A and B are shown apart, each in its own frame.
Chain A
């Protein structure tokens, strides 16, 4: 063997083969898990899926199917998907993402059919609620994607969400307008981003450290203010007006789609706009090219005349404003008033969505929606009564993330200069 062959080939083989077999093995594990459900505790009765809601143009009838049959059908489809993925891996090909998506939908449907046997699952309510729960995660993940694309790791998403919620509650209470609260949330998110930028960009402090510490700082500051100021004047300072639900005419009448996507608050519509605007701008505009250049190869960007420091600051501030909107969701939509540590670590979930979504705005959004779905499945099932202890339902999204990060994403590649300060020499 020539020297070239020995240096190149083993590395390529070693890198590729285990990566290829990861997808089929993860799919196999989940197929076995779904099969174990019916084997260990077979269900009797029919599972009913409800598709329609009041206000639809026409109503789709409820679908009732025998639970056991549905689960076995799902196991069969899952097996086929796994076999196809294994065949792909054997042939040295990567399995398409669509296959994983089909597998996921079928496996989830099988699980739901098993869980609601003998009862009715409101599918539309489940999905609409998932979307609403995912809103702060999506905004947080978008902020995270933007920052990291410019080369600044943002662990402080949680701090930005919390400070956004805090700012929104106070400003909306003082002015009586949720719009003022929204602006204040963006400013609050930008303040945290400014600190992140100051320490990470200007003073080259390790960005993971800055992020973690900023989260603690925001928790300390908002909890202090909550006990010291807000709780004494709750009526004046912590009584924010909420965004009403806006039904978009015509669109909201479409069965299934309407109630899920078009009977939401303005923040959800803002989210649609933000996702598509950022996805378009990042890949199709001059601005996006510059941001990505600064995150991949700052030296080259500097050489062609892009101001690396200024670009990073601008992007991080924009990212902070976006994450701040996510924070506003808490106090202006979902919860009556601000409470200490009210985000409950959602920013860390958004961070997971960023990496899960491979630093791409659309994929990160989908990952965030997945988390929203998983947490809403738990709350819906706990209402209609589920055979699984609620703690296991609650931990499911996190377990799935671990599997996904280990099995499906694996060596995900961050922007090349992510987390590295730029030192002009």
Chain B
């Protein structure tokens, strides 16, 4: 299956894309109301999927361009050069070139290959860091992408990550078991608790029609305070002999093993992410459940008429989504930051994952690729912050601009004066 998967996925993607392109003019010409009535997500997905590869490349380029402008206008040297711009304009341009090239070179060195490293393992360490950062982004992105496919919006990534991570930490520090049982048990409990937490939103949506966006946002806060409470109680998670809201370090038997030996930080969480990608691909494209998700996502009314239990589909989509996002939290606690769970263990990944899912067009292998790209940005961003003192927050700007531009191909085409199909 592992060989078949990647081959089938692109074929599936292009097929859907072609269908959508053909469908679009027909629909809008035939009956605008019907299009408006059909699932908003269908429209949204179509907009994201019709963007071709060129638009994707140009979007990344545009986003990097705006990022460069931000670096330029805030760089101390450039501003100094501008203060005597008319006396010696060349200085400004030299400083500007240094600022921009320095930023992107260090981004590359932090994300892919560090040519300044003295040993081979130092040189290739950045790419392993990228994969380490990619794992939770991919896991959470898969969960959120899955709800997108079912026409749902899961903004509860933060709460699900926190609950999953805290539950895994609880099993890890409270039980004393051999590794072969301890690690899988901690992972499983983490995923299960997060699944139930996510399931609340699906259940309420199915039973009462409560808007899942609001419920998941509220569950983020409730989950945060629950985990925070647990971290202040010795009987629950707080480390003995400590007054801080933090758990004890994870025991060896519950830590995700290193993939490339102790010299690298890359751990088995990335393996988990790749496995989850195949699993989600199978669920969405090969299982009856996934078929129901997609049918409900395309048009809930039609799905209901076809005999699909829409409420059950909502509930199960949120269960699986919560489990996947929870695994991202587990990955953090048992893999990336093993010195103890805190109330900040989600590290904003729950929200970043929304952009990952959007960039990956809600397709499992697309999300894996987007997760690796954003992981590279993150790894490189931290390196850039350390070596060039450019705040890592610029990565957020570039990421969000990429997603915005990708979602609006006509804008990108207009900026580059490309012929537009719609015209």
Give Cα A122–Cα B354 distance, bound, in whole angstroms: 43
Q: Are A229 and B221 in contact (CB under 8 A)?
A: no
Q: B416 on the interface (CB 8 Å rule)?
A: no
> Which residue from chain B places its CB closest to the CB of A425 in the assembled complex?
B32
Q: A16 on the interface (CB 8 Å rule)?
A: no
A405 contact from B215, B393, B399, B404, Cβ within 8 A: B215
Give Cα A352–Cα B226 distance, bound, in whole angstroms: 20
For window 316-355 of chain B, which residues contact chain A by CB distance below 8 Å?
351-352, 354-355
Q: Are B407 and A223 in contact (CB under 8 A)?
A: no
Contacts of A216 in B (CB 8 A): 351-352, 355, 396, 399-400
Q: B150 on the interface (CB 8 Å rule)?
A: no
B407 contact from A205, A352, A391, A399, Cβ within 8 A: A205
Q: Are B393 and A223 in contact (CB under 8 A)?
A: yes
Interchain nearest-CB distance for B78 vs A (Å): 12
| Residues 390-423 of chain B, each 1 if its beta carbon lies under 8 Å from chain A, else 0 | 1101111101110110011011000000000000
| Residues 391-418 of chain A, each 1 if its beta carbon lies under 8 Å from chain B, else 0 | 1101100110110011101111000010
> Which residue from chain A places its CB closest to the CB of B351 in the assembled complex?
A216
Q: A299 on the interface (CB 8 Å rule)?
A: yes
Give Cα A69–Cα B224 distance, bound, in whole angstroms: 35
Contacts of A305 in B (CB 8 A): none
Q: Are A351 and B391 in contact (CB under 8 A)?
A: no
Give Cα A221–Cα B70 distance, bound, in whole angstroms: 9
Q: Are A203 and B411 in contact (CB under 8 A)?
A: yes
Q: B43 on the interface (CB 8 Å rule)?
A: yes
Our count of residue pairs bridging A and B at CB distance below 8 angstroms stands at 162
Q: Are A221 and B210 in contact (CB under 8 A)?
A: no
Q: Are A219 and B211 in contact (CB under 8 A)?
A: no
Q: A220 on the interface (CB 8 Å rule)?
A: yes
Contacts of A340 in B (CB 8 A): 393
Q: Are A22 and B208 in contact (CB under 8 A)?
A: yes
Interchain nearest-CB distance for B336 vs A (Å): 21
Give Cα A333–Cα B394 distance, bound, in whole angstroms: 29
Of A165-173, A206-214, A243-251, the segment with at least 4 beta carbons within 8 Å of chain B is A206-214
Contacts of B396 in A (CB 8 A): 216-217, 219-220, 223-224
Q: Are A213 and B222 in contact (CB under 8 A)?
A: no
B391 contact from A18, A217, A228, A402, Cβ within 8 A: A228
Q: B179 on the interface (CB 8 Å rule)?
A: no
Contacts of A417 in B (CB 8 A): 36
| Residues 373-395 of chain A, each 1 if its beta carbon lies under 8 Å from chain B, else 0 | 00000000000000001011011
Contacts of A227 in B (CB 8 A): 391, 393
For window 28-71 of chain B, which residues contact chain A by CB distance below 8 Å?
28-29, 32-33, 35-36, 40-41, 43-44, 47, 70
> Which residue from chain B places its CB closest to the CB of A349 in the assembled complex?
B217
Give Cα A355–Cα B204 distance, bound, in whole angstroms: 16
| Chain B: interface residue total (CB-CB under 8 A) | 57
Interchain nearest-CB distance for A424 vs B (Å): 9
Q: B146 on the interface (CB 8 Å rule)?
A: no
Q: Are B404 and A411 in contact (CB under 8 A)?
A: no
Q: B14 on the interface (CB 8 Å rule)?
A: no
Q: A224-B391, A352-B218, A402-B204 in contact; A410/B397 too (CB < 8 A)?
A: no
B204 contact from A18, A198, A406, Cβ within 8 A: A406
Q: Are B222 and A399 in contact (CB under 8 A)?
A: yes
Q: Are B355 and A213 in contact (CB under 8 A)?
A: yes
Interchain nearest-CB distance for A345 vs B (Å): 8
Q: Are A355 and B397 in contact (CB under 8 A)?
A: no
B394 contact from A220, A394, A402, A412, Cβ within 8 A: A220
Q: B270 on the interface (CB 8 Å rule)?
A: no
Q: Are A352 and B32 in contact (CB under 8 A)?
A: no
Give Cα A348–Cα B350 distance, bound, in whole angstroms: 15
Q: B228 on the interface (CB 8 Å rule)?
A: yes
Q: A87 on the interface (CB 8 Å rule)?
A: no
Q: Are A209 and B204 in contact (CB under 8 A)?
A: no
B211 contact from A220, A221, A355, A398, Cβ within 8 A: A355
Give Cα A216–Cα B396 distance, bound, in whole angstroms: 7
> Which residue from chain B places its CB closest to the CB of A424 in the assembled complex?
B32
Q: Are A391 and B218 in contact (CB under 8 A)?
A: no
Q: A394-B225, A398-B218, A420-B36 in contact; A213/B400 too (CB < 8 A)?
A: yes
Q: A401-B214, A401-B218, A406-B204 in contact; A224/B44 too (CB < 8 A)?
A: no
Contacts of A213 in B (CB 8 A): 355, 358, 400, 403-404, 407
Q: Are A209 and B208 in contact (CB under 8 A)?
A: no
Q: Are A205 and B47 in contact (CB under 8 A)?
A: yes
Give Cα A134–Cα B207 distance, bound, in whole angstroms: 31
Contacts of B215 in A (CB 8 A): 402, 405-406
Q: B187 on the interface (CB 8 Å rule)?
A: no
Interchain nearest-CB distance for B350 vs A (Å): 12
Give Cα A18–Cα B207 distance, bound, in whole angstroms: 10
Interchain nearest-CB distance for B303 vs A (Å): 18
A352 contact from B41, B214, B228, B393, Cβ within 8 A: B214
Interchain nearest-CB distance for A174 vs B (Å): 16
> Which residue from chain B places its CB closest to the CB of A399 in the assembled complex?
B222
Q: Are A206 and B218 in contact (CB under 8 A)?
A: no
Contacts of B47 in A (CB 8 A): 204-206
Q: Are B209 and A411 in contact (CB under 8 A)?
A: yes
Contacts of A220 in B (CB 8 A): 393-397, 399-400
Q: Are B36 and A402 in contact (CB under 8 A)?
A: no
Contacts of A224 in B (CB 8 A): 70, 74, 391, 393-394, 396-397
Interchain nearest-CB distance for A161 vs B (Å): 15
Contacts of B204 in A (CB 8 A): 402, 405-406
> Which residue from chain B places its CB closest to the CB of A412 in the assembled complex?
B211
Q: A423 on the interface (CB 8 Å rule)?
A: yes
Q: Are B218 and A425 in contact (CB under 8 A)?
A: no
Q: Are B400 and A217 in contact (CB under 8 A)?
A: yes
Q: Are A209 and B221 in contact (CB under 8 A)?
A: no
Contacts of A407 in B (CB 8 A): 208
| Residues 190-225 of chain B, each 1 if its beta carbon lies under 8 Å from chain A, else 0 | 000000000000001001111101110111111011
Contacts of A410 in B (CB 8 A): 208-210
Q: A204-B47, A225-B74, A402-B210 in contact; A209/B358 too (CB < 8 A)?
A: yes
Interchain nearest-CB distance for A108 vs B (Å): 19
> Which residue from chain A places its CB closest to the CB of B399 in the assembled complex?
A216
Q: B282 on the interface (CB 8 Å rule)?
A: no
Q: Are A423 and B28 in contact (CB under 8 A)?
A: yes
Interface residues of A (CB under 8 A from B): 18, 22, 155, 198-199, 203-206, 208-210, 212-214, 216-217, 219-221, 223-225, 227-229, 299, 340, 345, 348, 351-352, 355-356, 389, 391-392, 394-395, 398-399, 401-402, 405-407, 409-412, 417, 419-420, 423, 425
The 9 closest A-B pairs by CB, nearest first: A220-B396, A206-B44, A203-B408, A223-B393, A391-B229, A227-B391, A395-B225, A220-B397, A217-B400
Offer 11 A-B interface pairs, CB within 8 angstroms, sorted by A: A205-B47, A209-B403, A210-B404, A216-B352, A394-B221, A399-B218, A401-B218, A402-B204, A402-B210, A406-B208, A411-B209
- Apart from the given pairs A389-B232, A406-B207, 16 other A-B contacts in the complex at a CB distance below 8 Å: A203-B407, A203-B411, A209-B44, A210-B407, A213-B403, A216-B352, A217-B401, A220-B395, A221-B397, A223-B391, A345-B220, A395-B221, A402-B210, A406-B208, A410-B209, A423-B28
